[in-house]
Chain A
Amino acid sequence: MQAVTSSIGRRVTSSDGAVVRRVLTGDVEAYRLLVERYRVEFARYAQAAVGDRDAAQDAMQEAFIRAYDALATCREPDRFGAWFFRILTNQCRNAVARRRSRVSLEDVDPAGGDRADASLERGELAEALDAALARLTPEQREAFVMKHVEGRSYEEMAELLGVGVDALKMRVHRARDAMRTMMGALR
């Protein structure tokens, strides 16, 4: 994130790199700037990636704490956001694994037989999508969420995930095919 200066409000937003350097030289409170910035930026991603708001909040909190502990190893402080996103992604995967160990996927079977001919309400559509997302691989789920839930471009996704555009397209395409199959069972 680049530093932004507003000539009207004279409000200056420090670049990620500047904030990281402040924290590394002992200004612990400056870390809040990064927490606020990326809580907002990645809140929806975390919820969609985990599939549960409370678990997503826990994952994000843990990611911020881990990022703080490892801050000295952040080689490119000006790209803190991308570095943090990968920590967050790992925490979200852990959260999904914990949820899967507690909740049998059969309990949220999207292909429940007596609903096959029902017309789903809007909220039910989202719930069906959530159930279908839960059946994707972690990589497919992350890619689908970033592309279609968050509306990011492949270039943005590549920057955040550190994965090439072609590979990301492949993940998204496979995710869509899987989603089509799973959600088709609802209609």
Chain B
Amino acid sequence: MMERDAFSREAQRYLDGERSGVGGGVELEPGERAVADRLLAEARAYHARLSPLPSVLDDAVMEAVRRRAPAHRAGPFHWLVAPQTVRVRPFWIPVLAAAAALAVWLAPRRAVPVPAATPVAAATPDTVFVHFELAAPQARSVAVAGSFNGWRTDALAMTRGAGGVWSVTVPLAVGEHHYDFVVDGSQWVPDPTAHVQVDDGFGGRNSVIVVGPKGLVRS
């Protein structure tokens, strides 16, 4: 048999499982089929040598995570106490055709109660209200979703205002939060003005906002 450097196209399809080689269409040249079958056999032999990893790994992981900070501090009751309220001033720019993104910016030292109807919840002393806005005149719905609400797309619906500007005020705990806007229930829109955007693990970007202990908000 003449040695080849690469599998033929038919052999690749055979190895992909697209052709059985028996009643499945084009037969492979016997020598190439033998090489292909040998590769599959070697992969199976390799698999047979692998074994489950021991459950002691679970114990080691749990011991490590117990020593770390909680994965998330903001529970449902985290927002229900008297807040330190700061007024935040939106800083927004136009974005693509239908959805202009928006963000939050702050007037740090000015503590002003937010009207009762505006915030979605109260907050604790270590939280500040952050006002999110998104100019999206053609949107049917807009929400903000982030690490502070379990990325639920239905929990923080924004209210449409004049000029198609959607807004919501959210009490956020001091610390770093990741978020995006959700337009029409499915379109994720990151904040283009965020100082930091991070990979969301699914090919998109998450915006990052940092809430400081004295109300400093940086987005």
Contact = CB atoms under 8 A, between A and B. Distances in A.
Interface of A: 21, 23-26, 28-29, 31-32, 35-36, 39-40, 43-44, 46-48, 53, 56-57, 60-61, 64-65, 68-69, 71-77, 79, 82-83, 86-87, 122-123, 125-126, 128-130, 144, 148-151, 154, 162, 169, 172-173, 176-177, 179-181, 183-184
Contacts of B64: 61, 65
Contact of A61 (B4, B47, B60, B201): B60
Contacts, number: 162
A142 to B, nearest CB: 14
A103 B16 CA distance: 33
Nearest to B201: A83
B96 interface: no
B178 A65 contact: no
Contact of B45 (A53, A60, A125, A180): A125
22 contacts: A28-B65, A28-B66, A39-B52, A39-B57, A43-B51, A47-B51, A57-B53, A57-B57, A61-B60, A64-B61, A65-B61, A68-B61, A68-B65, A71-B72, A73-B147, A73-B198, A76-B151, A77-B150, A173-B7, A176-B15, A177-B6, A181-B6
B53 A46 contact: yes
B184 interface: no
Overall SS of chain A's interface:
helix
A26 B16 CA distance: 45
Contact of A73 (B50, B75, B200): B200
A42 to B, nearest CB: 9
B46 A181 contact: no
A125 B42 contact: yes
B46 A76 contact: no
The range of chain B's interface size is 35 or more
Given A24-B72, A25-B75, A69-B68, A149 B57 contact: no
B43 interface: yes
A179 B66 CA distance: 43
Given A32-B62, A130-B46, A162-B203, A21 B12 contact: no
Nearest to B62: A32
B42 A129 contact: yes
A86 B201 contact: yes
Given A32-B58, A65-B65, A26 B75 contact: yes
